[in-house]
Amino acid sequence: MRSKVQKLAQLAYECVKEVKDKEFASKYLAYARKLPSMITYNGLLTTVAFAKTKAKKEDAWRKLLEHLEKFLRKEGIKQDNKDLIEFLSEREVQEYRFITKRALDFSQWLKRVAEGEIEDECKAD
């Protein structure tokens, strides 16, 4: 039996592997690095609204949102077809906090795995 941490790490790895060789991989890495702090300082709902706006023009943000929603579905948190903003805005405070905590845990794993798997084009040798 695998732990919750192992499941988070595996899903994060699968998500990063999906974008690792795409042309927007370095942007995905940059945004994955920002995601945990964005959720912490702005809240999950605000972060999702921001990302959704950016996703209209940027594949990296679109993929991050897809991966976040994939995580919520895999966890059994989101099972309907509602828009993510609508879904989150309908939650009671206690449930919203729980979802935020789980999304933060997942975003931290996305960040860790992306840093290990995606080449950082901005880094100097």
Q: What is the CATH number of the domain that holds 49?
A: 1.10.520.30
Structural domains in the chain (count): 1
Orientation angle between helical segments 44-55 and 93-117, nearest 10 degrees: 50
Across residues 60-69, what is the average pLDDT? 96
Rounded (5°) CA angle 63-53-60: 25
In a domain, 79, yes or no: yes
Query: By mean pLDDT, which of 21-25, 62-66, 79-83 is the weakest?
Result: 79-83
Residue 30 in domain: yes
Q: Which domain holds residue 98?
A: 4-117
Within a domain: residue 111? Answer: yes
Domain membership flag for residue 122: no
pLDDT band at 125 (very low <50, low <70, confident <90, very high): very low
| Domain presence at residue 14 | yes
Q: What is the pTM of this model?
A: 0.90
Identify whether 21 is part of a domain.
Answer: yes
Q: What is the pLDDT of residue 124?
A: 38
